[in-house]
Structure 1
Amino acid sequence: MTLRHLRIFSEVCRQESITLAAERMNMAQPAVSYAIRELESYYGTKLFERMNRRLYITESGEQLLLYADSILSQFDEARDVLRDVHAVTKVRVGTNVSFGISRFPEMLSEFSKQYPQIPLYTRVENSRQIEQHLMRNELDFGIMDYPLNPRFFVCHPVGKDIMTAVCACSYEIRNRVTLEELCEYPLLLREKGSGSRNMTEEFVEKYKRKLNILMESISVQSLIEVCSKGLGVLMISKSIVAPFMENYKLKEIKIQNTEVTREYYFVHHKSKFLTKSMKAFQEYMTARTEKV
């Protein structure tokens, strides 16, 4: 098995087609097919199912893709770093929405003042998207919920938050309800893949309840707007919604005998080569653990 095999496999996964992958890589289609067969023979497993002239990646294929993306990105990164070993490298950071809205702006400002020579690139997405970017080396660090695939990452806790339920002050609901009662109301939730959505679903499933979802959105602002109109109950991180409570005339609903706590982690890939710039950011973040 060589890097060439992994690049071909990765491209076939992206294109979901031997023919399209061959075109993108300027290769003959039989050569691509042969490389995939060699990989399947090497690992002793099927990487794709072929049905109705389409390719469907198998569970084994999905596992290999995680490793392939990581290996290829590390190889490319090593090449770039060694070609310009003395350059100040940009630090690419992804943060989930909750942390990105409530805490990261201040931290970003403080770091930039301490290290004005280090360029930063940041993006705000949900935790699952950040994990995928880390696997593909499209980000250097992530601030997120605990990864789905922790074996690939180094995780350092950097803070906690509490999930809360809020509604319009005019909404007809008692200030303190049971979980069973709450699940009967129309709920406003973040999109699937977000940390707050995952926490809400895990918590409700633990008590064998079902969610009555009225709306889901990637936009916190949209959810708060709908909530303020008295259309449902919003489940969200307390640190996000706190600044909006007064202006949007919202009230908190206490859930009896329960508290849903989520923890944020500072994450990077175990195989990640850390430049001096990245190490400076890592030290800055881990030093703030007790402060956030």
Structure 2
Amino acid sequence: MTIRHLKIFIAVAETGKMSLAAKKLYLAQPTISQAIHELEAHYHTQLFDRLSKRLYITETGRELLDLARNAVRAFEDLELHMENCTQTEHFRIGATVTVGSCLLPSLLEDFRQRKPQVDTFSFIGNTAMIEDKLLKSELDAGIVEGVIKSPDLISIPMVEDYLVLACSKDHPFASLTSFCPSDLEGLDFVMREKGSGTRALFEEYLHASHIHIRCRIEAPFPEAMKHAILYNHCMAVISVRLIEEELQKGTIHMLPHPEHAWNRTFNLVYHKDKLLTDSMFHLKNLLLQYRRPEIG
């Protein structure tokens, strides 16, 4: 039994004749007759009384008629809904907190201007969260600075970035132009949360240099980190892109790593089995416009 059977049944019930139903549906009369016989065989019941070459719907037929109309109406609503869905492309972009704070707003606006017909959704979290959502197909693409662990995800370096040692203008380090790893021993820091690519890179550096610091504040957001730098005498290792305004104002002092050990990239990430749509290629091309930080 199919929707086609139900549509034929409704037409026969409403016209009272198979010939009229055939004309209404632009079908041959034997096709109409066969469909009714198949319905009656399927439900093991008689849907019409055939008297003097006329059809009279049975009580069971009347019950089926109401249900059939509801089923056909629901099916047509489903078809219309899915047609509208397929006409609108949806593109879900995930970004880490750093990317979401310094790149994503302008990136989304550029994307909207080039692809206004695409319905976009954005999620901001740390690298581990973005990776998890990509693996669960809750996102189509991600832009992250951390290391992707899953072999099922493709990670393409797209945008250059680097971390700097940041402190307030009143901090003792504000008079320095360079530093060595041992200078950081025992100092107070504000750190990103675990799962952050920024934190992972800095912790790897500390471990390799055998340096121990004091994590006084753990903050998942750049603004909270900058407040800890400015008002709580903490230092931070943070993306230079996130403190451009404070650097211009002179409220935060930065020290790049002398050996460029904190250089990194923002990577475009997607599942290896993901269908690469036109939106994915547009996103990739847009990212090339943000290749280098303005402060370098």
Q: TM-score w.r.t. structure 2 length?
A: 0.64
Which secondary structure state, in structure 2, belongs to the residue aligned with residue 139 of structure 1? coil
Q: Does 1:198 align with 2:192?
A: no
Aligned partner of 1:172 in structure 2 is 172
2:235 is matched with which residue: 226, 233, 236? Answer: 233
1:35-74 Cα deviation digits (max 9, x unpaired)? xxxxxxxxxxxxxxxxxxxxxxxxxxxxxxxxxxxxxxxx
Computing the radius of gyration from Cα coordinates, the structure with the larger value is 2
Q: Does 1:184 align with 2:180?
A: no
Question: Residue 122 and residue 254 in structure 1: after superposition, are their counterparts in 2 closer, same or farther (change >3 A)?
Answer: closer
2:247 is matched with which residue: 245, 248, 262? Answer: 245
Q: Does 1:262 align with 2:264?
A: yes
Q: 1:134·1:140 contact (CA, 8 Å) conserved in 2?
A: yes
Aligned partner of 1:282 in structure 2 is 280
1:114-150 Cα deviation digits (max 9, x unpaired)? 1111110001111110001111111111101354324
Q: Does 1:223 align with 2:225?
A: yes
Question: Residue 289 and residue 121 in structure 1: after superposition, are their counterparts in 2 closer, same or farther (change >3 A)?
Answer: closer
How many residues were matched structurally? 207
Shift of 1:283: 0.9
Aligned partner of 2:129 in structure 1 is 129
Q: How many Å separate the matches in 1 of 2:147 and 2:165?
A: 25
Question: Residue 152 and residue 172 in structure 1: after superposition, are their counterparts in 2 closer, same or farther (change >3 A)?
Answer: same
Name the Cα RMSD after superposition. Answer: 2.2
Q: Does 1:114 align with 2:111?
A: no
Q: How many Å separate the matches in 1 of 2:281 and 2:275?
A: 15
Q: How many Å separate the matches in 2 of 1:205 and 1:114?
A: 44
Aligned partner of 1:48 in structure 2 is none
Paired AA for residue 281 in structure 2: E
- Structure 2 unpaired stretches of 5+: 1-81, 291-296
Shift of 1:158: 1.3
Which secondary structure state, in structure 2, belongs to the residue aligned with residue 213 of structure 1? strand
Q: TM-score w.r.t. structure 1 length?
A: 0.65
Q: How many Å separate the matches in 2 of 1:225 and 1:100?
A: 18
Q: Does 1:94 align with 2:115?
A: no
Question: Residue 89 and residue 285 in structure 1: after superposition, are their counterparts in 2 closer, same or farther (change >3 A)?
Answer: closer
Percent identical across equivalent pairs?
19
Shift of 1:257: 3.8
1:238-257 Cα deviation digits (max 9, x unpaired)? 11111223457111134444
Q: 1:168·1:230 contact (CA, 8 Å) conserved in 2?
A: no
Q: 2:134·2:270 contact (CA, 8 Å) conserved in 1?
A: yes
Paired AA for residue 203 in structure 2: E
Shift of 1:162: 0.6
Question: Residue 183 and residue 287 in structure 1: after superposition, are their counterparts in 2 closer, same or farther (change >3 A)?
Answer: same
